[in-house]
Amino acid sequence: MLYRGAKSPLVRDMGGFKARLNMPGWLLPRPRDHGYGPLAMVVESILEPGRLIAMHEHQNDEILSWVPEGVMRHDDRATGRLVTDSGHLMVMNAGKSFWHSEETLPSDPPLRMLQILVRPHGLDLPPAIQHGPIAVAPVNQWRHLVGPEGGTAPFFVRNSVDFFDLRLEAETKTAFPRAEGRHLYFYLFSGSIKVGDIAFGEGDQGIFLSDDTLELFATRSSLIVAFLIEPSARTARQGTVGDYPKIPRPYLARPLLRLLHWRNRLVGSV
């Protein structure tokens, strides 16, 4: 079964830093969790040039930083300064404790990125950070960037989640990644696609509760990310961001989203 989620109206605007929060579990008709298995949350982050997010702590979050537009300048107490852009990827395996900051310089272009929160398989694991170049993706082919520890992907998280991205040319058809026993979540970063007879636009998301083949067609040139998730994987649910205690309870998800959509229609699109 495929469920579509419209562009999330759940946005935190902190002055030069805007975060749009996407909850995979909230796409289901009767949500029981804001996440789905090990995938806790997908955050689209926008930083204006010259914006600093001061040093802060994460615990029990596995954080993927995927930066297709702009430059994200990172600093931490373990490795120091690192720069992530369209040619690099960062994974923070926060574990027991990891402190870092993020910023853009006044001379930098606007930053638009995804920060992906994965639940680890256990609490208070050893902290680590991964950062490095990523291969140029062939057009119209999925690029496998992150997978479980010990797998074949160039970066890892400590649970059963695989992460892919794809630049798909207009009027092109392909299939989503698939693996036995895994379910699919995807997010359309830009462009427009059709999955069967269901249309998806920028910021829309979908969850497919099957490991069957699922095809998509790009009606415009599109940039898409996809996750293969083991829904029954053992998870630790105490992440600083991914399982923040003030996230609304699942039974409030649909009323809250309806309210926010109506509010945004009244005050103008966010």
Residues in the chain: 270
Domain that holds residue 33: 2-267
First and final C-alpha spacing in the chain: 29
| Single pTM value for the model | 0.95
> What percent of the chain shows pLDDT beyond 70?
99
| Pairing relationship of beta strands 172-175 and 80-84 according to DSSP bridges | unpaired
> What percent of the chain shows pLDDT beyond 90?
90
pLDDT at 266 over 90: no
CA distance 204 to 192: 9
pLDDT tens-digit map of 202-234: 999 999 999 999 999 999 999 999 999 999 999
CATH number for position 251: 2.60.120.10
CA distance 169 to 149: 32
pLDDT tens-digit map of 135-159: 998 899 999 999 999 999 999 999 9
pLDDT confidence of 169, banded at 50, 70, 90?
Answer: very high
Smallest Cα–Cα separation from 168: which of 206, 114, 224, 115? 224
Is residue 42 within 8 A of residue 114, CB to CB? The reply is yes
pLDDT tens-digit map of 77-116: 889 999 999 999 999 999 999 999 999 999 999 999 999 9
- Residue 35: both structure tokens together: 């996440």
CA distance 84 to 63: 13
How many domains in the chain?
A: 1
What pLDDT is recorded for position 267?
A: 65
CA 265: distance to chain centroid? Answer: 25
The residues that bridge with 71 in the sheet, in sequence order, are: none
pLDDT confidence of 268, banded at 50, 70, 90?
Answer: low
